[in-house]
Structure 1
């Protein structure tokens, strides 16, 4: 037996159509399906059925509807262990069903999978998955009940989920270069949701790539007028930046986005800034198995300040058609230096220990969904907010820094071996701010530039051994999630101590 709520309410199985008698019975079942496998108080069911005033017999009518639903469910054969049950469970009712039998659950699973594929840069699979998810909708959720005047907040929330999945699908289609195919559908959706800036931006991009620059700018003008005249606000930064790029006929708009899963970060750090502290950069390794930005075996060179640094092979200059975006990022620099016990160690032992350090940092980076960049000797770069921004990028950056620090301060570090783990020195810096991220072809790493990188390097040069030093912007963004201590001597920034005692 399958339950369908993404459209008119339907119960489907291999036998004759399953009929429910009366609007109240259908409404009770529909409401319980929206909260399947959760206890729903009777008072909530009653209010859902009679928003304008509950009759004196309201609870009795709900009880009668529940009895009728139970008879309907019991009258149908079911596979062993998969029988849906409507239970009386204080303070109300519990509809126990197999989640896979409800189309809403199937939609949510597919939508989440498609969003994850899109975040990983798998645009083509994401488009297919999201098309499948949206294909489950046969109309507005519980459309037959909506026609009777029901307007539950849960139904409005479902429509928003559908709209987000649709925006994700458009993003995937545009990343696949199918701008011509989605224009008509985008125009239709934007007409019904004219204040959704993400949709308007997607339509502008599709029109521009189709050679309709004037039409793309007209979409911006209409959106601007609606926001200013109706809400008294201007479009967000991303939409304004898109308009500027269209006006300038920026060549970056003509190519689909770079798959996020193939993005690698390359950055230039001022060695004199890093060398101002005690943490030097004697060599380098690649943190992840992705194609390296730095040479495997560089020849040491000398800077003007006589600080030894690795010879860095920078990626080619960004081509004129590279896509660039300005965005907020949180940069994490980790310095993990082997202890004095490794001073006379065999180079192969040092190499094994360095690989262990990379494995530890890489594991924590993946756990907190960051992007691993390159490394120079004992210094490793991690970024949050690339390629996509999240509301908690700064928090995830600091939590990752805490986890990395704690791994290296543990009594046992099996990845490094007994000798290498003795006296290891670790310090972490976190800085948050605006950066310019420039993407080239799928095979070239993006370039990340901005004062946030220099700020992070300065913090790393000043961080005490075993501590995590964050900038003021990072602390401000994470003050409720992370416990901080002042910097000894009244220095700038703050020392991250531990996650605050609250749920993540």
Structure 2
């Protein structure tokens, strides 16, 4: 007999489902399985099934459910030595082999995966954690949850699943699979932007994909959510990660040697074949346009840059399609006008744009260039308001 809790409650014998009767029987079995191989008091069962609104006949109803479960176990071939529901004061004990419950398999695999992760065995850890998560068919006891049951154990197991997901992504990132993870991470972080560890993993994956600007935008979005909803700042780990991304810290790169790719030499005349020598391809240019050192690293220095911020004022009455077209037009205008004066569009968030003057090349008149660019970027566009400010930032220095 196999019991499945990680999703709708299921009982199977030799791969075939066993029908369960009524919500009381299902809820009683579910609660006993969550507390398998330990005595559960009848009063706890009553509270789990009905809370403070238990009917006067609740104890008799639990007894009926327990009797029905005993018949079900006997009818469908459950050996008394393998699976057995025992009456033991002050309630019941469901004796079940641990390999018969998917929850125990999940706990065993996740524990194994975390041990492998701590030991630095990334590949083995990823396999174990993937197997553990594959056992989930949906929220724990989702069929019971649909009836209004909200046991603390269900929330605790969901939290455990989330932690295992984060451990899996950590192992995958250590294996250099950031390209494959970005989509999954973006979907989860969009749904739960207050989860700092996942946010950090998405930031790292985006950074390693050459998407530094988007990685920083993820940080600022999470920071805004934490501040708005909880009055908190991101934790030290997330703040440190943001600084490392801004500075292109070497610790964020994977410690892997450059791949060598054999370059075939076409033969023009018959001659003895000679194996071509492997040629190491130069590192690809960074997505931000800054050249890398031969080792693929950046040098950093602290310097002053001038930042021009352009903000569009939108109204609720604006048609979304027209707003989208207007934002694209403003992006083009800001890029062109900033470029005329030596500025580079650093990023955009919503209806705000940032143009940098002084990175990577610093000029004495950068503040003046930013000031001169501001009227041009807003000219002829009534909905735009421009604010200017300068601030110090740590920016990459090009290798000499």
Counterpart of 2:240 in structure 1 is: 241
List per-residue Cα deviations over 1:85-132 (Å, max 9, x = no partner).
Answer: 111111111110001100000000000000000000000000000000
Counterpart of 2:14 in structure 1 is: 14
Q: After superposing the two structures, state which structure 1 stretch, 70-79 or 27-36, moved more.
A: 70-79
Partner of 1:218: helix, strand, or coil? helix
Cα distance in 1 for partners of 2:179, 2:187 equals: 14
Cα distance in 1 for partners of 2:122, 2:70 equals: 44
Query: Shift of the alpha carbon at 1:194?
Result: 1.9
Partner of 1:86: helix, strand, or coil? strand
Partner of 1:77: helix, strand, or coil? coil
Cα distance in 1 for partners of 2:255, 2:180 equals: 14
Cα distance in 2 for partners of 1:256, 1:63 equals: 62
Change in CA separation of 1:144 and 1:198 when aligned onto 2, cut-off 3 Å: same
Counterpart of 1:187 in structure 2 is: 186
TM-score (norm 1): 0.50
Query: Shift of the alpha carbon at 1:80?
Result: 7.8
Q: After superposing the two structures, state which structure 1 stretch, 212-221 or 50-59, moved more.
A: 50-59
Change in CA separation of 1:238 and 1:59 when aligned onto 2, cut-off 3 Å: same
Counterpart of 2:210 in structure 1 is: 211
Query: Shift of the alpha carbon at 1:251?
Result: 2.7
Counterpart of 1:158 in structure 2 is: 157
Please show how residues 105-504 of structure 1 align to structure 2 within 5 Å: 105-255=104-254
Counterpart of 2:265 in structure 1 is: none
List per-residue Cα deviations over 1:310-361 (Å, max 9, x = no partner).
Answer: xxxxxxxxx9969xxxxxxxxxxxxxxxxxxxxxxxxxxxxxxxxxxxxxxx
Partner of 1:234: helix, strand, or coil? coil
Asked if structure 2 preserves the Cα contact closer than 8 Å seen for 1:252 and 1:321, the reply is: no
Query: Shift of the alpha carbon at 1:137?
Result: 0.2
Asked if structure 2 preserves the Cα contact closer than 8 Å seen for 1:170 and 1:202, the reply is: yes
Change in CA separation of 1:81 and 1:2 when aligned onto 2, cut-off 3 Å: same
Partner of 2:198: helix, strand, or coil? helix
Query: Shift of the alpha carbon at 1:15?
Result: 6.8
Cα distance in 2 for partners of 1:181, 1:148 equals: 38
Cα distance in 2 for partners of 1:135, 1:73 equals: 27
Asked if structure 2 preserves the Cα contact closer than 8 Å seen for 1:176 and 1:256, the reply is: no
Query: Shift of the alpha carbon at 1:57?
Result: 1.0
Q: Is 1:87 paired with 2:86?
A: yes
Counterpart of 2:64 in structure 1 is: 64
Counterpart of 1:54 in structure 2 is: 54
Query: Shift of the alpha carbon at 1:59?
Result: 1.1
Cα distance in 1 for partners of 2:127, 2:255 equals: 17
List per-residue Cα deviations over 1:403-443 (Å, max 9, x = no partner).
Answer: xxxxxxxxxxxxxxxxxxxxxxxxxxxxxxxxxxxxxxxxx
Counterpart of 2:326 in structure 1 is: none
Cα distance in 1 for partners of 2:245, 2:254 equals: 13
Q: Is 1:31 paired with 2:63?
A: no
Cα distance in 2 for partners of 1:164, 1:256 equals: 26
Aligned length: 260
Which runs of 5 or more structure 1 residues have no equivalent in the other structure? 258-318, 323-504
TM-score (norm 2): 0.63
Partner of 1:6: helix, strand, or coil? coil
Asked if structure 2 preserves the Cα contact closer than 8 Å seen for 1:177 and 1:256, the reply is: no
Cα distance in 2 for partners of 1:2, 1:118 equals: 29
Cα distance in 1 for partners of 2:255, 2:166 equals: 16
Query: Shift of the alpha carbon at 1:228?
Result: 1.4
User: CA RMSD for the aligned pairs?
Assistant: 1.8
Change in CA separation of 1:120 and 1:50 when aligned onto 2, cut-off 3 Å: same
Asked if structure 2 preserves the Cα contact closer than 8 Å seen for 1:220 and 1:243, the reply is: yes
Query: Shift of the alpha carbon at 1:76?
Result: 1.9
List per-residue Cα deviations over 1:362-383 (Å, max 9, x = no partner).
Answer: xxxxxxxxxxxxxxxxxxxxxx
- Pick the structure with greater CA Rg: 2
Query: Shift of the alpha carbon at 1:79?
Result: 5.7
Partner of 1:40: helix, strand, or coil? strand
Partner of 2:180: helix, strand, or coil? helix
Cα distance in 2 for partners of 1:321, 1:133 equals: 37
Change in CA separation of 1:181 and 1:142 when aligned onto 2, cut-off 3 Å: same
